[in-house]
Structure 1
Amino acid sequence: MSIQLRSRRGAIGKGWHAVALRSAAELLLGPGRASGGRADARAGRVQWLDLSPGRARGAVLGADGEVHEAQLDLAPLAGPDRAVVLRIARAHPELPARLASGAYPEEIERELAHEEVSLLPRGASELSHDCSCLDWPGPCRHVAALVYVLVESVDEDPTGLLTLRGLSLGDLIAPRDAAPAGDDEGTDGPGDAQDAGPDAPGPAGQGAVDPRRLDPAPLAAVIGEHPAALLASFFAAAELEDDEPEGTPPDPPTVEP
């Protein structure tokens, strides 16, 4: 079963992040391969697409009738770069919902750019390729077709960028009541985390958001007013429980006369 692109003419990929991915890949492909790849992708020659950390793979039906396995590589984020992404993402608790709904906010990428990090390839030098065909060194027409299927896939579902970079939506959600993990959160040590509140400066509080003080307004635009209000109410109730002094006896049961 082949993949049918929604785009039938013009540029493939409409969202800003899809355009950025396409632009970087086209620098790698060159005009001739890009044109052939667009035609093959629109003709449904890409049979399947699989995304994994660092790699997009697909089977492409060649003009010779053979199926070739093509791949495009983008290195997963690790070490300090991964920590930067987690810190910035967790400062925006609405981000997982927005990504899941098909939107990658450009302001997130601008914040990452200040730290010289990106979920997107920042040029052709960050991409590499391979194919089972004999067109070496390439990139071949099969890789080009895979690129355009990938671009449209990421346009519709930007969580594919997370997968390529070795991340998931769950990684972007800060664990509640968990001490910052030194390497992942960029802290200097456990002592720093003890004194830093949710709004305090420094590694533990820098850009951090306490979900118990969640403002439902940003979430309402994504998941609706009622679900956003329920989340805010839930976290507010949790805050009251956490602030109750230890040893406070429970309220006496109400006895009906």
Structure 2
Amino acid sequence: MTAHRHRTSRGDTPRRPDDRRRTFPRLAPRSGDDAPAASWWGDAWVEALEDTALDPARLARGRSYAGRGHVDAITVTPGRVTAYVHGSRPRPYRTDIRLRTLGDEEWERLLDIAAGRPDHIAALLDKDVPHALADAAELLPAPGDLIPDCSCPDDGLPCKHAAALCYQTARILDEDPFVLFLMRGRGEQEVLAELTRRNAARSAAERATAQRIMAERTANRGSMGGRSGAGGQIPPPLLATVPAASVLAARSLPALPDPLPVPPHPGRPPVYPEAAGAPDPLALDLLATEAAGRAHTTLRTGRDPLTGLTPWQDAVRLAAAHPGSGLTASTRALYTALARATDRSPTDLARAVAAWRQGGLAGLTALEEEWDPPAGPFDRARPALIAAGFPDGPAFRPRHNRLSTPALQLRLGRDGLWYGYESDPGRDDWWPRGMPDTDPVGALTALTGH
């Protein structure tokens, strides 16, 4: 995403780069008897949703989804609220709520009203929204202002996933009403900085007016107005100072605090909204989840779990961690991209994923490596199969670390485990199947089911 700088309408107060994007973690489930919102502005948000809903049943299901915690982390940007909402399918749905942002003239009116009332500024700092301020520039949505959009096939207005997102957003608004300002176009720090500037300018103007009135009164009394301190002039306030010696004096720093304990589970990544020219948000979510798990393991064990993996092995690991079996559009796209990046075919990757899911890195090694095991367990495997009564036992033929029939194969890995494979007879197209075992009889039993 292209970085850019933004200034307020007056052009003199830069905002923080992340001030117009905030992500709130998934809210904890709560009882269905609780009210959707606890503040009057949260109630107004819910009413804007419910007054335009066409199906009360969808609203009820959305409220149930929200109460059960089906809404993931919520990201708020100007004019948009985004989250993934879990429904009846394994993959969550991407859900958006859009609303109009305020224009420059509306912001000017809103900020002027807020800066002119010290009680308004105090209320905002106390996480409260005065009614008069909210009404000044239509800060709260009216019926029809909230436009839902969801990747689910339901064309309801709203669907239950969008309704769930609206109900959870009301809880966020309860805790932080500055989210209302962000939805309408400006972040908290940006608004507070502009209010501070306007309040300072207003105070300076009032002070100048007071000085002028006092000077005029003094002049009317025939006082001397040209000397310092005469004419009713108010001296500027003294600035606080610090002696240079105290700054430069040697001092010892306190000991660093103990490191924080490692959390029991990796954190959840933020939600990545779609943006023109940006990577696919689900691909970013996958990479962020992988990075969080890797960092958590490194913190917990002091060792990077992926040290030593080749790009191909890491691509197989990433694909194996993705849910599904290659039948969904997102999984096919992932397999195609990873296969192209490693100069392999999607079929090669799918076979390698099956081996990784069978035995991790050792399973992938068993797929790709032929080697000559020492005398011992390998030599005893074929007699053990015959003694166990497998009808295919005598048909297994040894080659390097593999025992094969036309349709079944056992491979001895360097980790001492036997890995099962199957192929259509005569095709020599072997695919990993079953669970590995230290005993060839157990591995063949897992492969054949008897």
Coarse TM-score class (shorter-chain normalised) = 0.5 to 0.7
Q: Which residue of 2 aligns with 1:167?
A: 186
- CA distance in 1 between partners of 2:62 and 2:152 (Å): 15
Distance (Å, rounded) in 2 between the aligned partners of 1:199 and 1:118: 33
Higher RCO (CA-CA < 8 Å; seq separation 6+): 1
The Cα of 1:99 is off from its aligned counterpart by 2.6
- The aligned residue for residue 44 of structure 1 is 69
Q: Using a 3 Å threshold, how does the CA distance of structure 1 residues 241 and 163 change in structure 2: closer, same or farther?
A: farther
> Partners in 2 of 1:177 and 1:91 — Cα distance?
7
The reply on whether 1:92 has 2:114 as its aligned counterpart is no
Matched, 1:35 2:76: no
SS of aligned partner of 1:12: coil
Alignment length (residue pairs): 187
SS of 1:51 mapped into structure 2: strand
Query: How far apart are residue 8 of structure 1 and its match?
Result: 3.8
AA of the residue aligned to 1:9: D
Q: Deviations over 1:127-168 (max 9, x none)?
A: 211111121254211101000000111011111101101123
Moved more, 16-25 or 170-179: 170-179
SS in 1 for 2:84: strand
> How do 1:170-181 residues align onto structure 2 when only pairs under 5 Å count?
170-171=190-191, 172-175=194-197
Residue type matched to 1:71 in 2? D
Deviation per CA, 1:84-120: give whole Å up to 9, x if none: 111111112454443343211223234x1xxxx2110
1:39/1:159 CA distance change after superposition, 3 Å? same
Identical pairs, percent: 30
Partner of 1:140: 159
Match of 2:90 in 1: 65
Q: Are the equivalent residues in 2 in contact too, given 1:51–1:163 (CA < 8 A)?
A: yes
Partner of 1:118: 138
1:25 aligns with 2:49: yes
C-alpha separation in 2, matches of 1:136 and 1:130: 9
Partner of 1:106: 131
* Secondary structure in 2 matching 1:88: helix
Please report how far the alpha carbon of residue 65 of structure 1 lies from its aligned counterpart in structure 2 after TM superposition: 2.5
Larger Rg, first or second structure (1 or 2):
2
Task: Give the match's secondary structure for 2:197.
Answer: coil
Alignment partners' CA distance in 2, 1:121 and 1:134: 26
Query: Residues 241, 176 of structure 1: CA spacing in aligned structure 2 closer, same or farther, 3 A cutoff?
Result: farther
Does the 8 Å contact 1:73/1:127 carry over to 2? yes
Structure 1 SS opposite 2:52: helix
After superposition, what is the alpha-carbon deviation per residue over 1:6-43, rounded to whole angstroms, capped at 9, x for unaligned?
56414310211111111011123342221111100001
Indicate conservation of the 8 Å contact 2:26/2:74, yes or no: no
Secondary structure of the structure 1 residue equivalent to 2:83:
strand
Contact 1:100 1:159 in 2 (8 A): no
Aligned amino acid, residue 52 of structure 2: L
Cα contact 2:32–2:64 (8 A) shared by 1: no
**What RMSD, in angstroms, separates the aligned Cα atoms of the two structures?**
3.2
TM-score by length of 1: 0.63
Q: Which amino acid aligns with 1:120?
A: L
